[in-house]
Structure 1
Amino acid sequence: MSWGFSESHPVLESAILSAAEQNIIMFVAASNDGANRGKGDRIPFPARLPQVICINASDGYGNPSRFNPPPNEDDFNFMTLGEAIQTSDPDKDSHKSLGSKQTGTSFAAPGAAAIAALLIEFAKQDPLRKDKALLREVTTMEGVIKLFAGMSEDPVLGYRYLRPWDLVWCEERSDRHDCRSCRMAAEKNVRKLLAGRVPIPNLALVPNLPHSPEAEFDSLMNEAKGMCIEGTREKALHDIMSWIEDPNGELVGWIVGRAGVGKSAIAGTICSRLYANNRLGGTYFFSLNYRKADEAFLFVTSIAYQLARYIPGFAREISSVLKEDPDLALPKKGLLSQWEKLVIKPIQSSNLKLVFVIDALDECAKASPILPLLKKLEGSGLREKLRVLVSSKPSTLVDSGFRVLTQAPRRFDLDSVSAPTVEADISKMIRHDLGMTKERLEGFSSTDFINEETVGRLAKKSSGVFLWAKVACRYIDGGEDIGNLSTLPEERLEIVLDDWKCEGLSALYLEIMENAVKGPDRDILVRQVRHVLEVIIALFVPLPLNDLTAFCPDLKSQLVKHRLYGLRSVLIVPAAPEEPVEVFHGSFRSFLIEEKHDDFGISPGIAHRHMFRRSFNALTATGDSPLHRDVCNFRDPAINADEILDFSS
């Protein structure tokens, strides 16, 4: 649309809204009035509507045209060539006849539409066309904005110049060049941008709220645990998405099931689907692995931060609230007050329909403060535009807490799914995981033992527990460095399938631990393994391998590495040295702490006492000890603890 009006036109606005509902992507000229529109809206109608993409003009060097309206802080302010554009002469027959050169945002808007059409056409070619989800995404307004934001330069005077060659480009250097490498690079760029969230235009507006990045669904911690394998848990996922889309649905949904049945995988899969559609308002995956992700005090500010960081339009609203009451950002502020002002009110003033996902609520050290927040939501009149999905094990605390709600939550009981359905889904997951093992072992070892009979026997022995099957597959695989393991994959498979071993998670964990210390020096290996696991259990924040070694002064770094590699089925041991070593699932932590094993049982109290001694010894080991009076240099012995910054963030 290469035109604009000072006033809104109801009939035209209705038509635009109707077109937007039909997923028609509209590009509108920003106007040529510069800063001379006077008071009120400086961007005319319909360019100021959120259902269209506003396009400004630039010169041939990517500089914003002087006649553009002032940049809008809440918009991307995309621009493309809009000066001295050569046109054809419609009064002459020859298509080669040139007309005059034209200037204005009216000519930049169709140029931007042509760029979008080029990218959509690229996505419709092989091999991207085979990805149905990607094709759906690229033909939406949100998808085009993702691509435009990814291809545009850093803002120049507040405007973003579109550079499609940054995404799709061919460096042809010879007649033999077949463009394959160029296409692969372009495909990778397009996939990466479309898989992400719609970015917000101005990160400078995002308030610096205390938050827990580890608790977000796409953190390294949660990504390593994986999501549902394609083709599995289809009914549960369908039921949850149907509840989310039901305008008369309950405010709260509850995924409930025993440990290991796949609650977090389902929650993560739902998050990824909502994320792609810009419907994900905020996530909080509680975890005992991180101190900042197992307590409630950062819950509200983390959700508010995600709203401001990822959902267009919320950053300014939340920043404005904090400007009036800066104390809302402090942990000492009441959660209900923070919830009301930083979350509820911004959503009330928005037209968006959002979903919050809270995973593993039973792993929250103090879950009781979270449940009144849901009650507060219930009384806020947001049921038509908000859903809250919670997952947990069957818990008296959670169940009784839900009773404060006027309307009981929609319950998605994973323990009630029929055994044949669960076994079929577990078989698909095992087939996928062992298929990756088979690919890795090809050419190095026989893989005849990985077959349909193996898949069936493992699925049956899992007894409906996805986690058992996942850990068993990790144990059979052994990880990349198989040379450091005392058994071969086929031997580990036989151990898992033994009728007298590995019945249930605890028995599987015990067998994995026993295999990690197998050998003539068993007593020494047990001490070394306990030493390393004590550190991992005691840490409030997981550490990378090198830092972890510093807390194991009795072991050389190579020994620490070997002991960790022997436990890769129950620990996340990243290849990158800067990434943290973590417990794969909270049930393994419980196995070590709660189940009394003479060789492998760990007391958290003793583990913390050992950590304290090692830390203190490290601080006093050198002649120029870093320990001294006022080590943080506050210069005020009477300073209140609430006034001290959180140095752990």
Structure 2
Amino acid sequence: MYKVIIQYQISLARHYEDLGLSRFLEDFATPKDWEGMLNAIKDIEKSITQDLSIMNASTLVQIDQTLKKLDGDMERSYQMMNEPKVAQQARLQSFESQYKTECFEGTQVNVLEQIHAWIVSPGPEHMYWLRGMAGTGKSTISRTIATQCLNRKSLPETTCLGGTFFFDQNQGELSAAPYLFPTLCTATADCLPEIRPEICEVNKDHSNILYESLSNQWKHLILEPFLRLESRNSHNRLPKLTLVVVVDGLDECSSGSDGDTVGTILDLITEASQLNSFRLKFLLASRPESHIFTSFDAISRSSTCLRTSELQKIEPSIGFEVPDDDITKFLRTKTRETTERHSNLKTDWPGEKALDGLKRKADGLWIYAATACLFIGDKNLKHANTVEKRLNHLLRENGDVTTPEGTLDAMYLRILKSSVMQSAVPEEMDDIRSLFQNIAGTIVVLCHPLSTSALGALLTSPSCNEIETLLSELGSVISMGNGQDSPIRLAQLSFKDFLVNNKRCIDKNHQVSKEERHSYLLKKCLTTLEETLNQDICGFADYGILQEDVPLNKSRSICQSMSNILVCTGLSI
């Protein structure tokens, strides 16, 4: 009835919008049956009245039960959509991403140009594997490309960012493959709203898709919605689009007990070659670990959908008239920024000899250059002589260290000795060692990063102030973010690898035993549970309340709190 009434009102409004002569000619040529429309409305109203009059009490009860069932179905759908299977931190514009860096201006130009050429290429390669050893800048390049696609910088208007996922083994959901395709699905829906109805239609019979296999998730969340949209777009209502998907850190994706998870993901992504008017292009970055290399090698031998590129160490520029290499450009700019903050430093500090020494120490690795600049140029340093001491500390000879990993380890040791133990007297050594183990040791083994306030509440001792003091001294390797409620994160994964490997970290004061730290955390978590769990934890003051009567948001909040406590030790509920 409402439909007929609206049609009648629209027709009447449009009719009287026209000029009098136009209305007359229109009525003459195609007269409208105004009386018939009114009679139709009256007939529908009469029919509804008759239907309502014959409804008995049982019919109304049945309607009420149906509505309750629908309400329950909607609630379950809401719960499914709000389950933590979408890793918001993996997205480019997440809160955590604001602390991540992009390529320094004027560096990595050749690599960025190669990836741009692949993005705009009409060729069959929809997968690009960027591989390189740790510290060569893979993640920074991935983030830079993602930002350029988001802003369409030097790219066609028909190219956009389809989604990102930055794997990180330090964070539970960012190392788990089941979060990958749901996260990319939500990102593509944001980028291309026209695909949302297709996603809903494909998954109407898959209410548990977030918990199904990787194959089903790929099929129902990514591939089939795009194939359906292509079919519906057969008349080219939408332009041909290229959606670039950036997946970084494949080597940090945890493998399931049932096989090679990364290999499964790569095999599924090859199926994107079925798309025509919509192109999904995947930029994939990782270390060249053997199982990943094997999977890519199999793809390259069986299809033409893959392009590869290997990041090499930056070769240092030699000679005074030779243009600066990328790392030298970076070091020169960052040390200049430090000079501007300290008026007592000479204007040409640190000088070409010191820059050349830092460049040799970096040995072509961005991770060394970036960490060294954070250490030397720490904004918490108030005195220029402390800056000079830190620079000289890094420039000391490493003895027989010749490998990039050895150079990095030597730098980490010097940072730890300068920051943690520099002013300690023998009587304080045990206390400082315990403080370091309880704070830094805990941070490196956590499954999920905690904030300063959360870590202080969990550990009870040391205090939040002691945590902040130690972490401010370790700012070049551990980031506190902004304020006590920001998550504490390792600046580099290699720092964790260094601390937990006693063959690399040869200073026993700083060696971290994962087994000891997990045991320590378990005790702290159990203590927290013992102090937290109690009757009427929801605060209802009614011990007879039924479980189904507990509000969903309250139940979810309590479960999440308990889960956060236990997940610190790798347990789950």
Mapping for residues 223-234 of structure 1, pairs under 5 Å: 223-234=98-109
> What amino acid is aligned across from residue 539 of structure 1 in structure 2?
L
Alignment of 1:294-333 (within 5 A): 294-329=175-210, 331=211, 333=212
- Within the candidate set 456, 461, 470, 2:356 is matched to 456
Q: How does 1:59-458 map to 2 (within 5 A)?
A: 208=82, 210-277=85-152, 279-329=160-210, 331=211, 333-348=212-227, 349-350=229-230, 351-366=240-255, 368-382=260-274, 385-405=279-299, 406-407=302-303, 409-415=306-312, 418-420=315-317, 424-442=325-343, 448-458=348-358
**How far off is 1:448 after superposition?**
4.9
Change (3 A) 1:221 1:380: closer
Gaps of 5+ in 1: 1-33, 39-65, 68-82, 84-203, 637-642
**Structure 1: how far apart are the matches of 2:546 and 2:515?**
31
Aligned residue number for residue 413 of structure 2:
510
2 CA distance for matches of 1:403 and 1:634?
57
> 2:173 is paired with a residue of what secondary structure?
helix
Q: CA separation of 1:271/1:595 partners in 2, compared to 1, >3 Å: closer, same or farther?
A: farther
Inter-partner Cα distance in structure 1 for 2:303 and 2:394: 45
Counterpart of 1:290 in 2: which secondary structure?
A: coil
Partner SS state of residue 241, structure 2: coil
What is the SS of the residue equivalent to 1:324? coil
Q: Distance in 2 between matches of 1:634 and 1:239?
A: 62
1:601 and 2:498 matched? no
Q: C-alpha distance in 2, partners of 1:474/1:362?
A: 26
Q: Tell me the amino acid that sits aligned with residue 245 of structure 2.
A: F
Residues 336-372 of structure 1 show CA distances to partners (whole Å, capped at 9, x for unaligned) of: 0110111012233254211111111111111832433
User: Counterparts of 1:426 and 1:276 in 2: how far apart (Å)?
Assistant: 26
Structure 2: how far apart are the matches of 1:456 and 1:342? 51
Classify 1:37/1:326 alpha carbon distance in 2 versus 1 (closer, same or farther; 3 Å). Answer: farther
Alignment equivalent of 1:614, drawn from 489, 512, 524: 524
Preserved contact between residue 314 and residue 326 of structure 2 (Cα < 8 Å): no
| Separation of aligned partners in 2, 1:628 and 1:448 | 67
The 5 A counterparts of 1:8-47 are none
Q: Could you tell me which of 487, 496, 499 is aligned with 2:394?
A: 496
Residue 620 (structure 1) shift: 2.8
Superposition CA RMSD, Å: 3.5
Q: Which secondary structure state, in structure 1, belongs to the residue aligned with residue 105 of structure 2?
A: coil
CA distance in structure 1 between the partners assigned to 2:195 and 2:373 by the alignment: 43
Residue number in structure 2 paired with 1:465: 365
Partners of 1:592 and 1:324 in 2: how far apart?
Answer: 48
Question: Residue 532 of structure 1 is aligned with which of 430, 439, 457?
Answer: 439
Instruction: Give me the whole-angstrom Cα distance separating, in 2, the residues matched to 1:280 and 1:318.
Output: 18
Residue 319 of structure 1 and its aligned partner are, at CA, apart by: 2.6
| Contact 2:375–2:390 (Cα < 8 Å) also in 1 | yes
How far the C-alpha of 1:446 sits from its partner, in A, is: 5.7
Residue 309 of structure 1 deviates from its aligned partner by 2.8
Kindly indicate whether residue 352 of structure 2 is the aligned counterpart of residue 477 of structure 1: no
SS at match of 1:298: helix
Counterpart CA distance in 2 for 1:553 and 1:207 is 36
The separation in 1 between residues aligned to 2:535 and 2:298, in whole angstroms, is 51
Normalised to the residue count of structure 2, the TM-score between the two structures is 0.69
Does the CA contact (< 8 Å) of 1:214 and 1:290 recur in 2? no
- Contact map agreement 2:398 2:410 (CA 8 A) in 1: no
Contact 1:423 1:464 in 2 (8 A): no
Q: Kindly indicate which of the two structures has a greater share of residues assigned to helix.
A: 2
Change (3 A) 1:544 1:487: farther
In structure 1, what is the Cα distance between the partners aligned to 2:414 and 2:106? 31
Q: Which residue of 1 aligns with 2:488?
A: 581
Q: Is the 8 A contact 1:225 1:584 kept in 2?
A: no
Letter in 1 for 2:325: A
Distance 2:533 2:329 in 1: 55
Contact 2:477-2:492 within 8 A present in 1 as well? yes
Q: State how far apart, in whole Å, the 2-side matches of 1:410 and 1:383 are.
A: 18
Q: Counterpart amino acid of 1:228?
A: C
**Distance change (3 Å), C-alpha of 1:416 and 1:488:** closer
Q: Quick one: structure 1 residues 285 and 35, their matched pair in 2 at CA, closer, same or farther if it must change by over 3 Å? A: farther
Aligned residue identity for 1:324: D
User: Any stretches of 5+ residues in structure 2 without a counterpart?
Assistant: 18-77, 153-158, 231-239, 540-544, 549-554, 565-573
TM-score for both structures, normalised by structure 1: 0.62
CA contact (8 A) 2:445 2:514 kept: yes
1 CA distance for matches of 2:378 and 2:314?
Answer: 31
- Quote the offset at 1:208 in angstroms: 4.7
Q: 1:426: how far off?
A: 0.6
Cα offset for 1:380?
4.5
After the TM superposition, which of the residue ranges 274-283 and 214-223 deviates more from structure 2?
Answer: 214-223
Tell me the CA shift for residue 389 of structure 1: 1.0
Per-residue Cα deviation, 1:502-532 (whole angstroms, up to 9, x for no partner) = 9611111111111122221333222211210
CA–CA distance in 2 between the matches of 1:467 and 1:223? 18
Displacement of 1:224 in angstroms is 1.8
Equivalent AA in structure 1 for residue 386 of structure 2: L
Aligned to 1:326, what secondary structure does the other structure show? coil
Asked whether the equivalents of residues 128 and 284 of structure 2 are also in contact (C-alpha less than 8 Å), the reply is yes
Contact 1:284 1:358 in 2 (8 A): yes
* Overall identity of the aligned pairs, in %: 25
1:315 & 1:605 partners in 2: Cα distance?
A: 46
Q: 1:581-613: CA deviations, max 9, x gaps?
A: 100011001001123432212122221211111
**Corresponding residue SS for 2:244:** strand
Give the count of matched residue pairs.
440
In structure 2, relative to structure 1, the CA distance for the partners of 1:634 and 1:315 (3 Å cut) is farther
CA distance in 2, matches of 1:580, 1:470: 21
Cα deviation digits, residues 17-42 of structure 1 (max 9, x gap): xxxxxxxxxxxxxxxxx98699xxxx
Q: CA deviation at 1:217?
A: 2.9
The 1:35/1:464 distance shift into structure 2, 3 A limit, reads: farther
The whole-number CA distance in structure 2 between the counterparts of 1:423 and 1:392 is 27
Letter of the 2:107 counterpart:
T
* Larger gyration radius, structure 1 or structure 2: 2
Displacement of 1:580: 1.0
